[in-house]
Structure 1
Amino acid sequence: GYPGCAEYLDFHKKHFPGGMKYWKVTSPKLDLGKKMLYWPEDVPAKLDENANHYVNLTKNILREYKDKYGRSGIVVAPYDCELFGHWWFEGNWWIARILRWMEDDPEIELTNTRLYLEANPPNKVVSIIEGSWGQASSHWVWMNEWCEWCWRLIYECEAKSEDIIAKYKNSSDPNLIKILKQMARELLLLQSSDWEFLITTWSARDYAENRVALHYENFNRLYDMASKYGSGQNVEEGEWHFLGTIEAVDDIFKAIDLEPFAKK
């Protein structure tokens, strides 16, 4: 596929010490010692070529479907997001190109599964076997004797967040909403499946266990802060400083919506 094109940055070859990457793929099957230097100037043209191929491939699939069935179809293209920018360094630039070009193409309409299903309600039911990409296609990697304790913490925090967010989500006090939103961010970070995976595989077990403990502690500190502030109690200056610090450190999902976290 496109990440394996000769011009792109090679993921595996790194300079020691430091871990910097200076080499291009050159050839996917080439020995690491024979990789050639990476030249950024060669990349834009290759990105244009690959993006153009992808857009035209999508158009051809849609045309063939319409010719065969007499109605418009949809191309579902799910990807593991870490492909873009991590495994494939130039991937973000590639996906930016295809999205812009598809948006400007009269033959293609960009959408998502929710909008498509609202406009085209399903008329069949498909039963899918439960499974995962983990060992033996099961959930064992994430739920076993080594990381069962993580789930007890997660379930505890989920229950707390449902109650307090349902209680205060419509508050007109911006400070209370700030606390709740950061609490929700800490919950999402606590729920990251990476931690259980790293614990089970021993890839970075200490780090993963520390992150679980950290986000659990942050969540509960914010929960206590929201409980006090929401009920009119005094919140110490140090807690407001903590909120500002943690907002700067764990600043994912700036436009986070509280509604999905509230108990229905």
Structure 2
Amino acid sequence: MGSRFVLVLHSHLPYVLGKGRWPFGEEWLHEVVLETYLPLLEGLECLAHDDIPAPIAIGLTPILMEQLKSPDFVTKFRTWTDAKRAALEEDVSRLPDTPEVRELNIFYRDELERRRSQFDALGGDVVGAFASLQERGRLEVMTSCATHGYMPLFGNDESRRLQIRTGAAAYQHWMGRRPNGFWLPECGYIPGVERLLAEEGLRYFIADAAAFDTGPGQEYNNGHIPVATSAEAPWKPWDIGAGVAVFLRNPATSQRVWSRDLGYPGDGVYREFHKRCEGSGWQYWRITSKQTDLGSKELYRPAEARARTREDAADFASLLRDMATAHEQAVGDPGVIVTAYDTELFGHWWYEGPTWIVDMLRSLADQASVTATAPMDILNSRILPPGKLRESSWGAGGGHNNWMNPETAWIWDNIHDDQRHFIDLLPQLHGQTGDMLLREILLEESSDWSFLITTGQARTYGTSRFLEHHRKVRALFAAVDGTGQLPASQTELDDPVFKYVHLNDVRRA
């Protein structure tokens, strides 16, 4: 048997439904559905139709599923696409009247109509479409923390447990089965979290290769952990305890897509993300070159981009074959190559990305040396060696600075205070009050608020969203501390997510 290839996609957006529109808010959700999730679903269905063996793993965070399953989202997405259609029609008068521009405008109109028809054919149920592919064995859907909370910085295990348990409960509610895989938000690992995952029957998660502890051999479960170099570690999954495995991202494959200088998305023929038509937001230009300023970008040519996508997909499949061959020659054993990306990179940021994924999986299926495989198929077919991870994340230097720094320390001070108070109150929390507090403290803990502040992408929005949920938590605390029950006026504090999850069901027994 040859080497195995595991493609993992992580899909996440914070809770933005009903929380602003543009430039920050619901527009994010609408764009990634149109540009990423629908094209990806279309491509995966094409692979299924052609009986191409190409299973992948895709994570859908619970808070993302909550929004996608909301009838409010379905209605708003249809309204938004109607507005995008009207804006395309108006672009005819905004842009130069040339055959190339008219042809590109028609290209976008046709694509928008296809996506809208696809959405309507699904009944607006994007999550259900992924669930259907899973039921047919075409992919594995992973879960995550309820609201993408960054667990290494949490103040206690019970707060971590509530994020994990709520995430597992949401998955079962929408997918109709228990999850096997778990995406640690921001790849944030802290020793011992595997015990919490095991409590929910979770079997594996993904981590950066740099998280693997390559120190001296250690005793572990009456066995000995072998020393593995950082180059060797990503080539196999590891048992890190409690019956939980870790798959490590392979740095070489990640670089080929993520790298600003070496990655495929930076090719000049691909569509430019940052230049948009004023008034409509549609993107009519190509990257041209990394040195070309926005004002000098050339017009996008879909046919040229399509041809390059096939070339880059074949190149990536060739890279996997070469890596697998070199590894097997060096160690005498086929390995596992894991590559993991944010799903939204494909389509939203890299317009041609979903097509590249499908082309790459087709190219890989044409040869026998490397086989696309789902994580559980690997775990069910081998005995894993014991390993150990160090506290880590995908952030700069593997640390926590992307979320905890001088600009965001106040957020964590408040989160820790609220977590302590919540845990102290747990024995007396029941019914509606307890459920509301659970929802709001989970939303307060989202990693996105501190990340948006740190990167400066949406500092004001990140600050206001954290404060919104923090103030709701404090108001609910006051209601509990003052009267022991929720005043009728306080029901306006409640956000309509995880309504089927009850504190009594997820608190520690």
TM interval, short-chain normalised = 0.5 to 0.7
Of the three residues 468, 479, 482, the one matched with 1:214 is: 468
Cα distance in 1 for residues equivalent to 2:376 and 2:425: 30
Q: Does 1:108 align with 2:371?
A: yes
The alpha-carbon distance between structure 1 residues 202 and 123, as it changes in their structure 2 partners (threshold 3 A), is closer
Aligned-residue Cα RMSD (Å) equals 5.0
Q: Where does 1:1-264 land on structure 2 (aligned, <5 Å)?
A: 1-16=263-278, 19-99=281-361, 102=364, 107-112=370-375, 116=379, 119-123=382-386, 133-134=395-396, 139-155=400-416, 158=419, 160=422, 183=438, 187=441, 189-200=443-454, 203-217=457-471, 239=491, 246-247=495-496, 262-263=507-508
Q: State the match for 2:201 in structure 1.
A: none
Q: State the match for 2:146 in structure 1.
A: none
Q: State the match for 1:230 in structure 2.
A: none
> Which is bigger in relative contact order (C-alpha 8 A, separation at least 6)?
2
Q: Which structure 1 residue ranges, 5 or more long, are not aligned?
A: 169-174, 228-232
Spell out, residue by residue over 1:82-113, the C-alpha distance to the aligned partner (whole angstroms, 9 max, x if none).
53234322223323443566578654142349
Contact 1:26-1:36 at 8 Å conserved across structures: yes
The alpha-carbon distance between structure 1 residues 238 and 96, as it changes in their structure 2 partners (threshold 3 A), is farther
1:119 alignment partner, SS class: coil
Shift in Å, 1:78: 3.0
The alpha-carbon distance between structure 1 residues 119 and 48, as it changes in their structure 2 partners (threshold 3 A), is same
Cα distance in 2 for residues equivalent to 1:200 and 1:63: 41
Shift in Å, 1:201: 5.6
Spell out, residue by residue over 1:1-23, the C-alpha distance to the aligned partner (whole angstroms, 9 max, x if none).
21122331112333445654210
Spell out, residue by residue over 1:230-250, the C-alpha distance to the aligned partner (whole angstroms, 9 max, x if none).
xxx9996994x986xx44xx6
Question: 1:65 is aligned with what amino acid?
Answer: H
Question: What number of residue pairs does the alignment pair up?
Answer: 240
Cα distance in 2 for residues equivalent to 1:81 and 1:68: 33
Contact 2:328-2:335 at 8 Å conserved across structures: yes
Cα distance in 1 for residues equivalent to 2:320 and 2:476: 46
Bigger shift: residues 79-88 or 64-73: 79-88
TM superposition score normalised by structure 1: 0.62
Shift in Å, 1:62: 1.6
The alpha-carbon distance between structure 1 residues 140 and 42, as it changes in their structure 2 partners (threshold 3 A), is closer
The alpha-carbon distance between structure 1 residues 69 and 204, as it changes in their structure 2 partners (threshold 3 A), is closer
Cα distance in 1 for residues equivalent to 2:415 and 2:365: 40
Question: 2:301 is aligned with what amino acid?
Answer: W
Contact 2:271-2:300 at 8 Å conserved across structures: yes
Cα distance in 1 for residues equivalent to 2:500 and 2:362: 23
The alpha-carbon distance between structure 1 residues 45 and 215, as it changes in their structure 2 partners (threshold 3 A), is farther
TM superposition score normalised by structure 2: 0.36
Question: 2:269 is aligned with what amino acid?
Answer: E
The alpha-carbon distance between structure 1 residues 200 and 70, as it changes in their structure 2 partners (threshold 3 A), is closer
Cα distance in 1 for residues equivalent to 2:412 and 2:348: 28
The alpha-carbon distance between structure 1 residues 130 and 210, as it changes in their structure 2 partners (threshold 3 A), is same
Cα distance in 2 for residues equivalent to 1:86 and 1:204: 18
Shift in Å, 1:25: 1.6
Q: State the match for 2:205 in structure 1.
A: none
- Percentage of matched positions with identical amino acids: 31
Cα distance in 2 for residues equivalent to 1:203 and 1:14: 18
Flag the structure with higher strand content. 2
Contact 1:59-1:108 at 8 Å conserved across structures: no
1:50 alignment partner, SS class: helix
The alpha-carbon distance between structure 1 residues 162 and 115, as it changes in their structure 2 partners (threshold 3 A), is farther
Cα distance in 2 for residues equivalent to 1:131 and 1:223: 32
Shift in Å, 1:40: 3.2
Question: 2:294 is aligned with what amino acid?
Answer: L
Shift in Å, 1:206: 2.6
2:339 alignment partner, SS class: coil
Q: State the match for 2:76 in structure 1.
A: none
1:77 alignment partner, SS class: strand
Cα distance in 1 for residues equivalent to 2:424 and 2:374: 30
Shift in Å, 1:212: 0.4
Contact 2:269-2:288 at 8 Å conserved across structures: yes
Contact 1:131-1:137 at 8 Å conserved across structures: yes
1:78 alignment partner, SS class: strand
